[in-house]
Structures are given as structure tokens and as C-alpha cells.
A and B are shown apart, each in its own frame.
Chain A
């Protein structure tokens, strides 16, 4: 099966381990990822926080490129997914915006939705059952806090997630891989997102709180699906906090028994290898 792939800027830099685990896991699931040639930045928070037209125009360029490929597109980064999906939604539902974008970008939009959050695609299209059949090393004994954050979840009419308050996709997937997702109340709380650089103290409070609540609820590790959250949860944490944070694809890689998995841990700012090795040994 072939899918278009939009990695986004973070996966080229701060979240390289997300990119490599996405590619490795997809391959193991017999998915051929076709990276969109010449993909460009979605504009992220900075575009929609300051200029409405830019926040639609930049993702629209990628939508044009996806349409040229004629494939469904998976987006691992929650922020990119949110921007691309919002633009897709607007182009489908607002004729004026669609015509404007067609004029500026010189193409004809066919109105077909093609943008998917990678986690949602795995769960809904590939299927948890199909994935669990490939498990080689179940994540036995691993208690995890599944953290969804904001942008893969809200607003619900754009993301089409199962619930904006208590989503279960990641929990169900990880459970099928053998782990034990814990119940906790902070799975959709905000980590501070794009203010990491300009308001570090605020982001440290928000991220630190999330980690503390995960630990209090008995988790060995936090699992997440967003490179921004990952950076905030690793870099913006109070001193002494040592709970590791994984990308969900990294734990999939472990469970599927992929040899590449060992290469990812050294990329983390908070070393997760103790927890990872314990699973592999167990």
C-alpha cells in the first residue's frame, strides 16, 4: 500500500527519531511512504497566530502537492496535521476560499479529503487487529500514560477524533501491543505548545504538571504523537523529573521487534533506554 508522507520541519530536526520510527514501522506494516517532493512548511502556530491568509495559503500549497500525487497523505506531526486538515476543511466547505487558493496556486482542487493524522490512520485504516498480529515482543509490564495534547484532538469537527475530552485511539493501540495504558486526567491538556522559546517558564509549568500527573497515576513512561509536545515534555521540565517520553511509533517499533529501535533512544534529551531495555528483556 502506498501513502503520501508529509514529515514537516520538526521531523527533519528536533524529532528525527519520530521520522525514522515512522518510516521503519510503516515499512514493517507493508506501507510504502512516498515523501511529498518539495513539501513546504505548514506555517505552524506562527502563521495562524498572526495572519489568517498565510495560515490557509501555506498548507494549501501542500494540499496541491498531495493532490498531484493522487494518494492519501499521512501526517505524523500534530501541529502540521491540524494546519493541513483545517485548510482542507475550509477548501471543501468554503467555495470562496477554495477559489481564492486555486487562483493563487494555479490549480483546480478536486475536493477530495486526503489528509490523515498518522495515529488515526494506523488505528482506523490499517486496524489495530492487523497491527497486533505483527507483534513480536509485547510491551508486557509497561504502564504508560497516553498523552494526546491539543492539536491532534481539537477542534473536534476538524480532527474527527473519537472524543475531545477522553480520546482512546492511542490507548487502544498501545493496549493491543501489550502495554497497560493508565487512566489519568491530563491526556488532552496543553503542554505550552509554540511558546516554548518565547515563554519558557510558563511552558515549564505546564509541561512539568503533565509529567507529574502521569507519574502520580503510576505511569513508567509517557507516550505521545507530537514533536512539539515531545520537545516541551523533554526540554521544559522541572529539575529532577526523569520520567521518559516516547513517540508512539517508537513503542510500535519495539513491539514489532524492529532492530532499528535501538538507534532511537540516543536521540532523546531524557534517556528512555532503561525503560526500553526492561521491555526488551522482559
Chain B
């Protein structure tokens, strides 16, 4: 089957539809485009595709367009959409699945800084077992180039004792590493 897009006719990838349904555990075909999800979505104006359109595009099998979109990255996972969907579709879980697929397929994230932040956060958890906000933020700033943003607020937080100087590392981090290794392996589990 083909669909006419702005860029011309395009073959539908219906495996993609199945894969997203399976990963998210949500019945994507149940969406009938009432737009209730989109009208309550707090970040609607920051992505280029509305929430209900994401569902439609999955039904159509428009994989590339979705995986490289900004919309899947700016979603904050607030679950407002799912709480209001008359068909009980948890779109936040669908967005999680789309992001995970984008990462696995090496698609450049539509919002580079957001993905970079997640990576810095998880690196901190992986090496210490807990997040160390100070070193995590420093790493993010160096890598993102947003060096001067929030400097004033950072100093204020530090003076208030809200940014710990040294990381707190826990012995159970060996188990944490085991979980990271297991999570990296796509084949085991679901």
C-alpha cells in the first residue's frame, strides 16, 4: 500500500505499526482521531506533530517521519493524553516505544539536547548507583555547549548546600551495572 505524502508517494511500513503496538502494549488501531489527547497535551506547541497525528502516522506506517521527529522527544511523559483517551490508549507508553526504536536504529534524535541529558543522567546512575546532580550537569553542559546557561542559579544552589560536592556511591552499584548490562541486550526478555 502507498500513501501520498508531501514528498510524493510512499510505501507503508505495516511492520512498524505492529512493532509499536507490541512494544508499547497499546492498541493503536483503536484510535479514532477524536483529538482529546492533543487538546490536553502541554507540549503540543513545541513539537511539529500533534499527539493524535502520531497515532495516525503509526497506523499508516510512517516510520521514518516519526522516528526522526521532535515530537517524540519533547513529550514529557505526563500521561495526560492517556488519562483522557476514550479508548484507553496510553500514548506516553507509545512515545516511549518510539524513542526506544529511534535509539536502537541509530536515528539522529529530533531534539539532541534532550537525548544528551538522558544519557548524562543514566551514565551517572550507572557509575555511582545514584545520580550526582553536580557532575551530571557539568557533563551535560560540556557536551551540549550550553556552558553559561543557569550559572547563577547553579551557584545559588551550591551555596544553599543543594548540590553535593562529592558523589555518593553505593556498594549495590555492582547490581546496578548488572541491570544496565541486561538492559543493553535486546534479545533477552521483552
Q: Is A257 an interface position by the 8 A CB rule?
A: no
Do the beta carbons of A61 and B111 come within 8 Å of each other? no
Q: Is A221 an interface position by the 8 A CB rule?
A: no
The answer for the CA separation of A170 and B12 in the assembled complex, in Å, is: 49
Do the beta carbons of A50 and B115 come within 8 Å of each other? yes
Q: Which of A104, A198, A267 contacts B160 (CB under 8 A)? A: A267
Do the beta carbons of A49 and B96 come within 8 Å of each other? yes
Do the beta carbons of A197 and B80 come within 8 Å of each other? no
A 78-111 to B, binary, CB cutoff 8 A, 1 in contact else 0: 0000000000000000001100100011000000
**Dominant SS among interface residues on chain A:** helix
The answer for the CA separation of A10 and B157 in the assembled complex, in Å, is: 13
Q: Which of A16, A104, A195 contacts B114 (CB under 8 A)? A: A195
> Which of the 9-residue segments B2-10, B53-61, B178-186 touches chain A?
B178-186
Could you list some 17 contacts between A and B, CB below 8 A? A12-B164, A14-B163, A39-B170, A40-B170, A41-B125, A44-B131, A46-B122, A50-B100, A52-B190, A100-B190, A104-B178, A150-B79, A193-B77, A198-B111, A199-B111, A267-B161, A269-B160
Residue count of chain A within 8 Å CB distance of chain B = 57
Knowing A9-B131, A39-B170, A197-B140 touch, does A52 contact B23 (C-beta < 8 A)? yes
The answer for the CA separation of A216 and B24 in the assembled complex, in Å, is: 40
The answer for the CA separation of A206 and B156 in the assembled complex, in Å, is: 23
Shortest CB distance B170–A (Å): 5
The answer for the CA separation of A188 and B137 in the assembled complex, in Å, is: 28
Do the beta carbons of B78 and A14 come within 8 Å of each other? no
Q: Which of B79, B149, B150, B172 contacts A38 (CB under 8 A)? A: B172
Do the beta carbons of B176 and A49 come within 8 Å of each other? no
Count, A-B residue pairs, CB within 8 A: 174
Q: Is A183 an interface position by the 8 A CB rule?
A: no
Do the beta carbons of A96 and B157 come within 8 Å of each other? no
Residue count of chain B within 8 Å CB distance of chain A = 63
The answer for the CA separation of A100 and B183 in the assembled complex, in Å, is: 11
Closest residue of A by beta carbon distance from B123: A46
The answer for the CA separation of A58 and B74 in the assembled complex, in Å, is: 23
B 160-175 to A, binary, CB cutoff 8 A, 1 in contact else 0: 1111100010111101
**Dominant SS among interface residues on chain B:** helix
Q: Is B130 an interface position by the 8 A CB rule?
A: yes
Known: A150-B77, A155-B83. 11 other contacts (CB 8 A): A39-B130, A41-B125, A46-B119, A46-B122, A51-B100, A52-B23, A61-B176, A96-B190, A100-B190, A188-B80, A194-B77
Closest residue of A by beta carbon distance from B175: A61
The interface residues of chain B lying within 8 Å CB-to-CB of A266 are: 160
Q: Which of A38, A43, A65, A154 contacts B122 (CB under 8 A)? A: A43
Knowing A96-B190, A194-B76 touch, does A104 contact B137 (C-beta < 8 A)? no
Q: Is B113 an interface position by the 8 A CB rule?
A: yes
Do the beta carbons of B78 and A53 come within 8 Å of each other? no
Q: Is B32 an interface position by the 8 A CB rule?
A: no
Do the beta carbons of A189 and B42 come within 8 Å of each other? yes
Q: Is A235 an interface position by the 8 A CB rule?
A: yes
Do the beta carbons of A156 and B83 come within 8 Å of each other? yes
Do the beta carbons of A199 and B74 come within 8 Å of each other? yes
Closest residue of B by beta carbon distance from A269: B156
Do the beta carbons of B79 and A154 come within 8 Å of each other? yes
Q: Is B16 an interface position by the 8 A CB rule?
A: no
The interface residues of chain B lying within 8 Å CB-to-CB of A197 are: 117, 137, 140, 150
Do the beta carbons of A40 and B80 come within 8 Å of each other? no
Q: Is B133 an interface position by the 8 A CB rule?
A: yes
The interface residues of chain A lying within 8 Å CB-to-CB of B176 are: 40-41, 58, 61
Q: Is B43 an interface position by the 8 A CB rule?
A: yes
Residues facing B in A1-30 (CB within 8 A) are 9-10, 12-16
Closest residue of B by beta carbon distance from A58: B179
Q: Is B1 an interface position by the 8 A CB rule?
A: no
Q: Which of B78, B183, B189 contacts A154 (CB under 8 A)? A: B78
Do the beta carbons of B153 and A235 come within 8 Å of each other? yes
